[in-house]
Amino acid sequence: MKIRTAIAAGVFAIGAVAAAGVASAAPTPMHTDFIGNYATYEACAADGNSPKTGGTQWECREVVGGWDLYTY
């Protein structure tokens, strides 16, 4: 009887760990839309100000490869 209890507890523990892994792998919702990456801030800001690609609010964030444009 103790062996069955130990096996059941082990299976339950494995299931709990797997469920926690799936829950933590869910993507974090973003509140901005990524538009693109630009080599210079000026190019990023120009598209941010453009009515075609920009929005009422936009932001250029510096990254390793240049600047990323996000709109709200």
Please give the Cα distance from 9 to 5 (Å, whole number).
Answer: 6
Please give the Cα distance from 30 to 33 (Å, whole number).
Answer: 8
Q: Is the pLDDT of residue 10 over 80?
A: no
Q: Give the DSSP per-residue string, 3-57.
A: HHHHHHHHHHHHHHHHHHHHHHTSPPPPSSEEEEEESSHHHHHHHHH-TTT--SS
Tens digits of residue pLDDT in 19-62: 445 445 545 445 568 999 999 999 999 999 988 887 678 999 99
DSSP category for residue 63: E
